[in-house]
């Protein structure tokens, strides 16, 4: 399994692949629209497709594969050890689609079983979050999920009445992000399920960008521009980054605008300008 950085992870160009979009694989008429709307498309063979329609979804995926961009198309397959996963992998043979998302990843061994594929590991169960370090170290990228996590914990909701994440969910989010950072791989933030609440999405996506997530996954095309905007630094932050780097380059200044500047802040400034394009 390749661990190299790729366009799909967005590491080389932070603004290039920040908005990912799920698309049910049993809706081939949506493939092209999803690809046109988002930076990367996740064709879903798991929870986004009813079990009785998965064979139809696999057939549609194989039929449309020649027209899909393998650099920006990711296929979410079913969990390790299930008959559904075996059928998913069989359907992908010979299609040229080698980037996949493994649902409910729970160990590095599950990733090792997918040798030859570039895998985004989805940590969305209690065991998957608990093993985030070993999973991130074996994956090309990681994502986390809240709803399956809460189901596994016996919870009733992932969010408080005001829409904010519960503490245990925030812990899982942070846990996966830190594991990704330690392993040197990108992390994707979870979906925002309230499709009409674009203001809430904007706040959550901006927090993801500030925290170090490489991107956020959308459920609907209308969410894509909101995510892109949130991952683009505002003018104030860009001006700060330019001032910091200019001062360091020309005077070796250790203080800019009342702020002590050291290498970690210089790295942040470089990242801001890269994200601003």
In terms of Cα–Cα distance, which of 7, 19, 25 is closest to 219?
A: 19
Q: Is 124 annotated as a binding residue?
A: yes
- Among all chains, which residue has been given the structure tokens 């075996």? 86
Report the C-alpha gap between 224 and 232 in whole angstroms: 13
Taking phi first (over 0 means left), then psi (-120 to 50 degrees means alpha), and beta for anything else, what does residue 137 get? Answer: alpha
Helix/strand/coil for 23 = strand
> Is 148 marked within a binding site?
yes
106 is in an annotated binding site: no
CA distance 270 to 11: 13
Q: Which two tokens stand for residue 113?
A: 């079983």
- For residues 43 and 31, give the distance between their C-alpha atoms in angstroms, rounded to a whole number: 8
Q: Residue 164, Cα to own-chain centre: how many angstroms?
A: 20
CA distance 208 to 229: 12
Residue ranges at the known binding site? 76, 124, 148
Residue ranges at the known binding site for Mg(2+)? 124, 148
Residue ranges at the known binding site for substrate? 76, 124
């Amino acid at each position: 399994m390749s661990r190299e950085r790729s366009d799909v992870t967005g590491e080389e160009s932070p603004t290039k692949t920040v908005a990912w979009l799920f698309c049910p694989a049993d809706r081939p008429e949506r493939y092209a629209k999803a690809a046109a709307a988002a930076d990367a498309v996740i064709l879903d063979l798991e929870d986004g497709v009813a079990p009785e329609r998965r064979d139809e979804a696999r057939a549609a995926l194989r039929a449309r594969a020649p027209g899909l961009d393998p650099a920006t198309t990711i296929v979410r397959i079913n969990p390790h050890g299930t008959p559904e996963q075996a059928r998913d992998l069989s359907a992908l043979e010979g299609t040229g689609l080698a980037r996949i998302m493994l649902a409910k990843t729970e160990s590095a061994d599950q990733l090792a079983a997918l040798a030859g594929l570039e895998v985004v590991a989805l940590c969305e169960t209690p065991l998957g979050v608990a093993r985030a370090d070993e999973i991130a170290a074996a994956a090309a990228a990681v994502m986390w999920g809240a709803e399956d996590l809460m189901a596994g914990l016996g919870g009733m909701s992932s969010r408080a009445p005001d829409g904010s994440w519960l503490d245990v969910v925030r812990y899982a989010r942070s846990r996966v992000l830190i594991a990704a950072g330690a392993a040197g791989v990108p992390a994707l933030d979870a979906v925002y399920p309230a499709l009409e609440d674009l203001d809430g999405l904007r706040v959550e996506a901006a927090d993801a960008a500030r925290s170090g997530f490489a991107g956020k996954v959308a459920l609907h095309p209308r969410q894509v521009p909101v995510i892109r905007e949130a991952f683009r630094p505002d003018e104030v932050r860009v001006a700060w980054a330019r001032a910091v780097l200019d001062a360091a380059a020309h005077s070796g200044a250790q203080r800019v605008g009342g702020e002590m500047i050291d290498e970690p802040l210089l790295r942040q400034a470089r990242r801001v300008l890269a994200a601003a394009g």
